[in-house]
Structure 1
Amino acid sequence: LQGSKFEPIVCDAMKIVAQNTPFENTIEYVGGQKFPDIVANGYYGVEVKTTKSFHWKTTGNSVMESTRVSSVEKIYLLVARLLKSLEIKIRPYEECLSDIVVTHSPRYLIDMDLKSNETIFDKMQIPYDKLRQDPNPIQHIVSYYKENLNPGETLWWIDDGDEIKEKKSSNIKMRLWGNLTQKEKNDYLIKGLAYFPEIFGNSNQKFNRFSLWLASNESIICNNVRDMFSAGGKVDYDINGKTLKVPQIVFKLLDNIGHIIDEIKLADDFISEAWSRKSEQEKLRYWLKNFKDCCTDENVADYASYIETEIPKYFK
Structure 2
Amino acid sequence: MSDIGVTHSPRYDIDMCLREDETIFEKMEISYDDFRNHPEPVEVLKSYYRPLLSEGQTLWWMGNDEVATPPVLTMWNALEKDAEEYYTAKGFALFPELIAGDSRTKYTRMVFWLVTNHGVINHALRDKYSGGGRKDFTINGVEYQGKPKVLYILNCKKNLVKELILQADHEELREHWEEEYIYEGDERLRQWINLVASQGDVEMSLLYHMFEV
Q: Which letter does structure 1 place at the counterpart of 2:3?
A: D
Is 2:22 the counterpart of 1:118?
yes
Partners of 1:288 and 1:201 in 2: CA distance: 11
Partners of 2:132 and 2:29 in 1: CA distance: 52
- Which residue pairs with 2:136 in the alignment? 236
- Which residue pairs with 1:289 in the alignment? 194
Q: 1:272 to 1:233 in 2, by over 3 A?
A: same
The 8 Å contact of residues 201 and 290 in structure 1, kept in 2 or not, is answered as no
Partners of 1:271 and 1:193 in 2: CA distance: 12
2:174 to 256, 272, 285: 272
The 8 Å contact of residues 200 and 290 in structure 1, kept in 2 or not, is answered as no
Partners of 2:37 and 2:164 in 1: CA distance: 40
- Which residue pairs with 1:87 in the alignment? none
Partners of 2:98 and 2:119 in 1: CA distance: 20
Partners of 1:309 and 1:123 in 2: CA distance: 47
Q: 1:190 to 1:234 in 2, by over 3 A?
A: same
SS in structure 1 opposite 2:14?
Answer: strand
2:150 to 219, 243, 249: 249
The 8 Å contact of residues 134 and 148 in structure 2, kept in 1 or not, is answered as yes
Q: List alignment gaps of at least 5 residues for structure 1.
A: 1-96
The 8 Å contact of residues 200 and 294 in structure 1, kept in 2 or not, is answered as no
Partners of 2:154 and 2:7 in 1: CA distance: 37
Deviations 1:176-202 (A, max 9, x none): 112112221111110011111111124
Deviations 1:239-290 (A, max 9, x none): 4453623332111111111111111011142223322141236643343235
SS in structure 2 opposite 1:111?
Answer: coil
Partners of 1:154 and 1:237 in 2: CA distance: 34
**Structure with greater Cα Rg:** 1
Is 2:101 the counterpart of 1:198?
no
TM-score, normalised with respect to structure 1: 0.56
Deviations 1:98-140 (A, max 9, x none): 0111345431112233233111111122222343345554443
Q: Which has the higher helix share?
A: 2
Partners of 1:164 and 1:112 in 2: CA distance: 34
TM-score, normalised with respect to structure 2: 0.80
- Which residue pairs with 1:107 in the alignment? 11
Is 2:112 the counterpart of 1:207?
no
Deviations 1:35-74 (A, max 9, x none): xxxxxxxxxxxxxxxxxxxxxxxxxxxxxxxxxxxxxxxx
Is 2:123 the counterpart of 1:223?
yes
Aligned residues: 205
Q: Percent identity?
A: 34
- Which residue pairs with 1:262 in the alignment? 163
Shift of 1:307: 2.7
Q: Which letter does structure 1 place at the counterpart of 2:18?
A: L
Q: Which structure 2 residues correspond to residues 22-61 of structure 1 after superposition, within 5 A? A: none
Partners of 2:190 and 2:113 in 1: CA distance: 23
2:87 to 188, 201, 220: 188
Q: Which structure 2 residues correspond to residues 84-163 of structure 1 after superposition, within 5 A? A: 97-134=1-38, 136-146=40-50, 148-150=52-54, 153-158=57-62, 162-163=63-64
| Alignment root-mean-square deviation, CA | 2.8
Higher relative contact order (CA 8 A, sep 6+): 2
